[in-house]
Amino acid sequence: MADMQAILVFLDGTICDMRHRIPLQRLGKKIFFSNKKIMKDTATAGSVEMMRELADKYRLIYIGARPDAYVDITRQWLNSVGFPDGEVYLGKNQQERMQITQQLKAEYDFAAGIGDRWDDNELHLELGCQSFILKEWEPNWETVRKYFKDE
């Protein structure tokens, strides 16, 4: 068990704006998840700053709805836009992400989970932690900040 509490942070829609890739979904995974396209993703407004604040007190665990083969490019993107270091886990469907979450629960004490979809809440419930479901692409980080300001 880690000394520091952790926060589970969902990637796409929460901290990563990848809407430019959505029209490519119909063309297949290779184009949608190409390294070149992923590196053109942008951080959602305020997300880098919020993650930096949280990283001062919490271990960040990033999770995404992507095939596991894209872990390295996802890490590269996180670093390139200035997100603080954290572990990266990817699962292409909810079942895979739930299995990852169950494994992480055994390793870390989670203070919160941050996502943008209701199925992200299912992962947070599995962890037994506070759950923040923010507006997709436009998260209100003040909602998160007010709950962590005095810690």
Model pLDDT for residues 57-91, shown as the tens digit of each residue: 999 999 999 999 999 999 999 999 999 999 999 99
∠ CA 51-53-56, nearest 5°, is 105
Pick from 131, 136, 124, 123: nearest CA to 147 = 131
Rounded Cα gap, residues 15 and 51, in angstroms: 9
Who's near 68: CB < 8 A, 6+ residues apart? 90, 91, 92
pLDDT at residue 151 in the model: 56
Model pLDDT for residues 90-144, shown as the tens digit of each residue: 999 999 999 999 999 999 999 999 999 999 999 999 999 999 999 999 999 999 9
Class of domain 6-148 as given by CATH: alpha beta
